[in-house]
Structure 1
Amino acid sequence: MKTFADMIEGYRIFRSGDWREERARWAELAEGQSPQVMVISCSDSRVDPAQILNVAPGEIFVVRNVAALVPPYETTPGRHGVSAAVEFAVQFLKVKEILVMGHGLCGGCQAALTQSLHGNELGEGGFVAHWVDMLEEAREPIAARLGTSGREAELAMELEAVKVSLTNLMSFPYVQEKVERGELTLHGGHFAISDGILRVLDHGTGEFVPAE
């Protein structure tokens, strides 16, 4: 795996190669951004949305966090990072579409399913446990039906987490208004690390189907 020093060397290659060859595009991006799509994805190092979706800089507005979660709309004091990103994308960049993209073998969803970090102190898993506990309600029927271990249960949790985030997005008043006016479309997706397939949520059936 690459070290920071390796990445600096990579930057030098980029600076003398791609950046120099596309000076006009980078100059245009320096004037501002106008992506049409926002992607909410996991922080996992294996699932870079730009790589998976084959997009260039400036084409997607991305926020990444543990398990690709969107908390419900809240007005309580606090540092609402995901909410700030959603607000900026929808109200200022005026994106037309939002994709919530979960993924296979998601550690955050596994932690939610097994509750393995439940009760841990902050700094020892407590922050993660508190973050993924927004999946608690979705977890209960999965655990009752499939248990809390095994790939089938984990996959069910991963897919349900995407649906939870989409539901929470609709709790943002300006998101709901724009969706209802046809100015904004919400999508759900799940990228499987094992087979490289992106599955997209069919809102009609509630099933995730291959994008191929």
Structure 2
Amino acid sequence: MCKAMSNFPSRLLEGYQTFMSGRYADERDRYRQLAETGQEPHTLVISCCDSRAAPETIFDCGPGELFVVRNVANLVPPYEPDDNLHATSAALEFAVQALKIREILVMGHGRCGGIKAALDPDATPLSPGDFIGNWVKLLKPAAQQIQDSQLMTGGERQIALERISIRNSMANLRTFPCVKILEEQGKLRIHGAWFDISSGELWVMDSKTGDFFRPETAEA
């Protein structure tokens, strides 16, 4: 191995070798087609950065099927057309306007560290910039209401905000004109789901009531 590669994580190289001899070998034609014709994913998934909740793995999707945006606590900020940097908004714009995606899924998950941070007003910033603390302020109104409830345990508060944050992100999606107009025209649909890491259960949000339920296909 050349010196330039000596510090590259061996686990990643081993995984790449397995990928090339396994999945890539099996789907070589698919990858070549995607390279030549471009991507046409059917769904935009907005999910958390958490390494335990990868959408491509959970939904068993192949290359080119999902356009995935991952950030802390799977949050969507409201529409703000200014000169600030908006990574999630940029990805959303590209997915809807350029890729013409017509399905958007906001997927939260259990034991989310970002949600835990939002529920802890006394959390110590991890850096002077406190990027996480400022980011999860998007959930501040809901987090404060849950914190004030003495009838809920810590675990119940966590799950409640994990699911409320999904509805909050879905509401913020609808502040984007390109999303709102297409949804009203019946050309785009917005979905919510919550994944339980410990059990593998997928809970889907009812679009009319906002309640979460386990679809029959997800039951063991």
| TM-score (structure 2 length as normaliser) | 0.89
Shift of 1:142: 1.4
Q: Which residue in the other structure is 1:123 paired with?
A: 127
Matched, 1:101 2:107: yes
Moved >3 Å (runs of 4+): 146-149
Aligned position for 1:172: 176
SS of 1:174's partner is helix
Aligned to 2:77: 71
* 2:195 aligned residue: 191
Residue of 31, 35, 38 corresponding to 1:30: 35
The aligned runs of 1:35-184 (5 Å cut-off) are 35-117=41-123, 120=125, 123-124=127-128, 126-146=130-150, 150-184=154-188
**8 Å contact 1:71–1:165 — kept in the other structure?**
yes
2-structure distance, mates of 1:50, 1:115: 33
Displacement after TM superposition at 1:140 (Å):
2.2
Aligned residue-pair number = 208
Partner residue in 2 for 1:208 = 212
How far, CA to CA, are the matches of 2:91 and 2:151 in structure 1?
Answer: 35
Query: Larger Rg: 1 or 2?
Result: 2
Q: Distance in 1 between matches of 2:62 and 2:122?
A: 38
* Identity among equivalent pairs (%): 47
Local SS of the residue matching 2:149: helix
SS at match of 1:61: strand
Cα distance between partner residues in 1 of 2:64 and 2:195:
22
Unmatched 5+ stretches in structure 1: none
TM-score, length of structure 1 as denominator length:
0.92
Instruction: Note the aligned Cα RMSD (angstroms).
Output: 1.8
Question: Unaligned 5+ residue runs, structure 2?
Answer: 1-7
* 1:95-134 superposed Cα distances (whole Å, 9 cap, x missing partner): 110000000000100110112437x3x7257100000000
